[in-house]
């Protein structure tokens, strides 16, 4: 069964090559396009200060995180959780860049070697809505996803919102209900009706209808200009069965 992980990180800044570190990781699991509640949420001691502008975004301080594990201490737990899954990330290069830097610091291979693939929902949104704002907040507003609890950025909450946004973007289903009666009802609604025994009548055009149809075709053929309409060129190769109104 296809396993997808929606992932988000919070960091001390914007550039892992200049010493910025991860402070939080949030992951939400979908199995067969159903939420499982098998989520992963980690706070991480970044082993450095947290600038005020970053603190204003996610609300995490160095004092708050001083007793949390370092990334190297949770690296194997994280990798075991995402192993073999398809990761879905909004603005994936940002999060992957930070995760790769942390993995390299821990002496481990980069993220893509542990997972089945990485999907960037920001790129998906840019293709669907070119020229529009495609931040997570903007997509929530456009697609009707409730983000009223997002007063601060939080990795787990953002991953949960991203899951709802992704479903809306791919139009796979209306919601991410979890098992039980709702799943059974959804399955029942997806059952196909059997029309194999249905006898469909064939309605043949009258002489007047055929004449009116031909008159319209002649006008269109004339307006097509040199060479005439394409269907005239194809009539000799595949003539329409006389008497049927298509």
Domain-by-domain residue ranges, the chain? Answer: 3-180, 204-241
CATH number among 3.30.420.10, 3.30.450.20, 1.10.1040.10, 3.40.50.1100, domain 3-180: 3.30.420.10
Q: How confident is the model at residue 224 (pLDDT cuts 50, 70, 90)?
A: low
Structure tokens at 24: 């939080």
User: How far apart (Å, rounded) are the C-alpha atoms in residues 125 and 7?
Assistant: 17
Mark whether 153 is an active-site residue.
yes
Q: How confident is the model at residue 148 (pLDDT cuts 50, 70, 90)?
A: confident
- Residue 144's region, left for phi above 0, alpha for psi from -120 to 50, else beta, is left
Per-residue pLDDT tens over the stretch 40-54: 999 999 999 999 999
Annotated catalytic residue, options 2, 112, 153, 213:
153
Residues 6+ apart with CB under 8 A from 67: 45
User: How far apart (Å, rounded) are the C-alpha atoms in residues 117 and 121?
Assistant: 13
**Nearest of 93, 127, 131 to residue 112 by alpha carbon:** 93
Alpha helices in the chain (DSSP H): 52-58, 62-65, 71-82, 92-105, 121-128, 136-143, 155-170, 180-189, 207-223, 230-235
How confident is the model over 226-245, as a mean pLDDT? Answer: 57
């Amino acid at each position: 069964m296809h396993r997808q992980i929606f992932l988000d990180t919070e960091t001390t800044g914007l550039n892992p090559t200049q010493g910025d570190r991860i402070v939080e990781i949030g992951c939400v699991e979908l199995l067969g396009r159903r939420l499982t509640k098998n989520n992963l949420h980690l706070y991480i001691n970044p082993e450095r200060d947290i600038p005020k502008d970053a603190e204003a975004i996610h609300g995490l301080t160095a004092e708050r995180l001083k007793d949390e594990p370092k990334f190297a201490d949770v690296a194997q737990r994280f990798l075991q959780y995402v192993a073999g899954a398809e990761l879905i990330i909004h603005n994936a290069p940002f999060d992957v860049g930070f995760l790769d830097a942390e993995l390299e610091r821990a002496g481990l291979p980069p993220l893509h070697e542990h997972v089945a693939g990485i999907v960037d929902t920001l790129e998906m949104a840019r293709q669907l809505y070119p020229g529009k704002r495609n931040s997570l907040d903007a997509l929530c507003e456009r697609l009707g996803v409730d983000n009223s609890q997002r007063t601060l950025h939080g990795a787990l909450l953002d991953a949960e919102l991203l899951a709802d946004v992704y479903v809306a973007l791919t139009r796979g289903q209306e919601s991410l209900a979890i098992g039980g009666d709702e799943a059974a009802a959804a399955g029942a609604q997806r059952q196909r009706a059997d029309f194999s025994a249905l006898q469909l009548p064939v309605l043949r055009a009258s002489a007047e209808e055929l004449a009116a149809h031909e008159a319209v075709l002649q006008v269109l053929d004339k307006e097509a200009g040199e060479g005439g309409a394409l269907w005239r060129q194809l009539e000799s190769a595949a003539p329409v069965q006389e008497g049927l109104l298509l």
